[in-house]
Amino acid sequence: MRIDVVTIFPEMFEAPLSLSLLGRAIDNGLLDVDVTNLRDFALDRHGTVDDAPFGGGPGMVMRCEPMFAAIESLRDRNSLERVILMSPRGRRLDQEIVSELAAQPDLVLVCPRYEGVDERVSRALCTDEISIGDYVLSGGELPALVVIDAISRMIPGIVGDWESVTTDSFYTGILGPPQYTRPAVFRDLEVPAVLREGNHAAIARWRRKEALRITRERRPDLLEFCSDDDRALLAEIEAESRGVASGINKENKT
């Protein structure tokens, strides 16, 4: 897969793209990420890519001419079928969108700065706008890195054990289960016995149930489309929750 990034701060991508899974994926040819410096397409020798907004107001707006030139320069190595503007007004990134983008042969990620880009860039060049959350950052570079990292995990061969991807939060629509490692006991805190007994069916059931329990507590909105098996586990969790609450109430009355 190929990802092109358009930014005025290419240096922000150097370390993240050279380390850990992303670095290995790029070195092994599983992922090709190329960063284009928007200032190379500026209209003057000073590298100016912004100007004051029409109609007045604070801040500066990224001009359309350098942006059009930068994106169109990628045409010989990118289909430009998915040109994504990182924007707080875009679709909020989730695992469904990540999976959709990971299935593409190539993408362009556009990183705005200042008050944003000239609207003509969004209308005429960009096919999507994506947000990574309901807050505002200084620019689109960090969101672009989030998108690249999330997509990379969906490309076969990048994560060594595919099961570690399929058990991630959101992959199956809910949050992930608790995880434990050695030692079995630390400061009187014990690893659940089921995880140490080697019964793989029991472990799988425990993990799914605990994942549902955490999702029920923290993101109940994700439980809308549960399977029949999940609903049965949720009924158990509800019964256990009522039992605990009943026990607490009895203690409070004594």
Confidence of residue 210 (pLDDT cuts 50, 70, 90): very high
Domain carrying residue 242 = 185-253
Higher per-residue confidence, 244 vs 44: 44
pLDDT for the residue numbered 236: 97
Q: Which of 153, 177, 216, 230 is catalytic?
A: 153
- Per residue in 61-108, pLDDT tens? 999 999 999 999 999 999 999 999 999 999 999 999 999 999 999 999
Same domain, 99 and 220: no
Task: Say if 76 falls within a structural domain.
Answer: yes
- Per residue in 16-54, pLDDT tens? 999 999 999 999 999 999 999 999 999 899 999 999 999
- The distance between the two most distant Cα atoms of the chain, rounded to a whole number of Å, is 81
Task: Say if 48 falls within a structural domain.
Answer: yes
Section 201-210 average pLDDT: 96
Same domain, 10 and 116: yes
Query: 178: cis peptide before it, omega within 30°?
Result: no
Active site residue 230: no
Q: Which of 40, 51, 106, 115 is catalytic?
A: 115
Active site residue 153: yes
Is the per-residue pLDDT at 206 higher than 70?
A: yes
Task: Say if 178 falls within a structural domain.
Answer: no
What is the CATH number for 63? Answer: 3.40.1280.10
Task: Say if 180 falls within a structural domain.
Answer: no
Q: Which of 168, 205, 207, 208 is catalytic?
A: 168
Same domain, 102 and 189: no
pLDDT for the residue numbered 164: 55
What is the CATH number for 249? Answer: 1.10.1270.20
Same domain, 13 and 108: yes
Q: Which of 4, 10, 50, 88 is catalytic?
A: 88
Active site residue 96: no
Same domain, 17 and 81: yes
Average model confidence (pLDDT) for the chain? 92
Task: Say if 71 falls within a structural domain.
Answer: yes
Count of structural domains within the chain: 2
The percent of residues above 70 in pLDDT, for the chain, comes to 91
Same domain, 11 and 55: yes
Identify the domain boundary among 131, 152, 173: 152
The percent of residues above 90 in pLDDT, for the chain, comes to 83
Same domain, 120 and 189: no
pLDDT for the residue numbered 248: 64
Task: Say if 174 falls within a structural domain.
Answer: no
pLDDT for the residue numbered 135: 92
Is the per-residue pLDDT at 110 higher than 60?
A: yes
End-to-end CA distance of the chain: give it in Å, rounded.
65
Same domain, 108 and 40: yes
Q: Is 61 helix (H, G, I), strand (E, B) or coil?
A: strand
- Per residue in 132-169, pLDDT tens? 999 989 999 999 999 999 999 988 888 756 555 555 65
pLDDT for the residue numbered 171: 65
Strand order through the sheet with 83-92: 32-37, 2-7, 106-110, 83-92, 128-131
Phi, psi for 109 (deg, rounded to 5): -110, 120
Q: How far is CA 50 from CA 5, 46, 137, 142, in A?
A: 18, 11, 18, 20
Active site residue 129: no
Section 118-131 average pLDDT: 97
Scanning the structure block, which residue is given the tokens 């007994």? 197
Same domain, 23 and 141: yes
Q: Is 233 helix (H, G, I), strand (E, B) or coil?
A: helix
Same domain, 143 and 202: no
Same domain, 138 and 231: no
Task: Say if 176 falls within a structural domain.
Answer: no
Residue 79 burial class via C-beta count within 10 angstroms: exposed 0-12, middle 13-18, buried 19 and up: middle
Confidence of residue 127 (pLDDT cuts 50, 70, 90): very high
Q: Could you give the CA distance from residue 14 to residue 9 in angstroms, rounded to a whole number?
A: 10
